[in-house]
Amino acid sequence: MNGFPVQKPFDLAAQPETKRWLIEGLWSDQAVGIVGGEPKCCKSFLALDLAVAVASGAACLRRFPTRQTGPVLLFAAEDALDQVRRRIAGIAAAAQVSFESLDIHVITVPEIRLDLSEDQKLLEQTVVNLRPKLLVLDPFVRIHRVDENVAADVAPLLGFLRGLQRRHATAVLLVHHARKGAAHLRAGLALRGSSEIHAWGDSNLYLRRQADRLTLTVEHRSAAPMEGLPIVLKSSGQALALHAADYPPPNSPDTFAPAPTSAAQRIEQALAASDEPLLLQQLRLASRMKTATLCKALMALTASGRVLKAPEGYRLASR
């Protein structure tokens, strides 16, 4: 046995800047990730907008340039096929591209269960046949029957999809629901189920509704995030699609500004969103704080009894 192949960092293939993005600012090249949000936040509309952009080369949300194009493979588990057709036709009209020539391929079986090896094989063979640039699965909850709150159950499904991405150079987009009553949490931590789902994504998009205002937050593993982008669902004849609205001017009363949170609040939010105790490094990533700031706040929280420390990690005392 010769062991695994290795290379020095300098010898690793460098990716040209022009190839970093699938859709500039929204989705990295060959990224896996989540389009998340609470019910009725237009998650499916956003996922289909990305699909139309990749299949046609049109700007996503009428603003974000598409840098690479190719076939899109789509499974819409909750929508009737005629509704999928109407939605894609409306987005194509808004994007001013030919609906008839869109390189989107819709899986038409009534059910896919990725916890079954047979369905995994069928999906992978479909990917081999079509070589899609983007695979869209909407929503995650409808393509398995495992417990989303158990990391050991969810991890193999996400691992299979990560394997698809690596073996076939395709981006993978999962539509996923946010927890009920989690509007106070940071977007990624509001996702339903195990924290494995949030951690899995290379590019994650989160939609939130506050009163009649819809906003988009973007997270990337290897690029700067974007928060509070106003999004509107516009109808013009047959064209029903999301559009990125203009940012309000600075200091405008309409400017979207999330309420600031203290270090202690961010720690408590991260622990509340996790189904398992978090080690220091996991908590640092979840709360997005510097180690020194995190440790100082943790000392105060443990001293007050609000957070408990155990060998397996930190957890809220109320749990």
Break the chain down into helix, strand, coil percent, rounded to 5. 35, 25, 40
Report the SS3 class of residue 249: coil
57's tokens = 């080369």
262 touches 239 (CB < 8 A): no
Residue 198 lies in a domain: yes
Q: What is the pLDDT of residue 260?
A: 40
Least Cα distance to 72 among 143, 142, 166, 173 occurs for 173
Residue-level pLDDT at 218: 94
pLDDT for residue 252: 42
Q: What is the domain range of residue 201?
A: 19-244
Mark the ranges of the chain whose per-residue pLDDT is less than 50: 248-260
| 185 and 308 both lie in a single domain | no
236 within some domain: yes
Adjacency order of strands within the sheet including 32-37: 104-106, 72-76, 134-138, 171-177, 32-37, 203-210, 213-220, 226-236, 239-244
- What the block records as the tokens of 107 is 């899986």
Torsion angles phi and psi, residue 172, rounded to 5:
-130, 125
> Looking at 186, 210, 244, which one is the last position of a domain?
244
Residue 142 φ/ψ, nearest 5 degrees: -95, 0
In total, how many domains does the chain have? 2
The total number of residues written for the chain in this structure:
319
Instruction: Return the pLDDT at 258.
Output: 42
pLDDT at 245 (0 to 100): 84
